[in-house]
Amino acid sequence: MTEPTMSTPLAGAPKDAPAAVVRLGSRRDGDGLRLQLAFPPGLPWFRGHFPGDPLLPGVVQLKLAIEAARELGPRYHGPRSIQQLKFKSPIRPGATVELRLAVTAGGAAVTFVFASEAGEHSSGRLEYGGA
Q: 11-65, pLDDT tens digit by residue? A: 444 455 566 899 999 999 999 999 999 999 989 999 888 889 999 999 999 999 9
126 neighbors 66 (Cβ within 8 angstroms): yes
In the structure, what pLDDT confidence band is assigned to residue 117 with cuts at 50, 70 and 90?
Answer: very high
* Integer Cα distance of 41 and 44 in angstroms: 9
pTM, full prediction: 0.85
Q: Domain 22-127 falls in which CATH fold?
A: Thiol Ester Dehydrase; Chain A (3.10.129)
The percent of residues in the chain predicted with pLDDT above 90, rounded, is 75
E strands, the chain, are 22-29, 32-38, 81-87, 96-104, 109-116, 119-127
Helix runs in the chain, H state only: 58-69
Task: Please enumerate in sequence order all residues whose Cβ is within 8 A of that of 53, keeping only pairs 6 or more positions apart, or say none.
Answer: none
In the structure, what pLDDT confidence band is assigned to residue 6 with cuts at 50, 70 and 90?
Answer: low
Q: Do you know the residue count of the chain? A: 131
102 neighbors 96 (Cβ within 8 angstroms): no
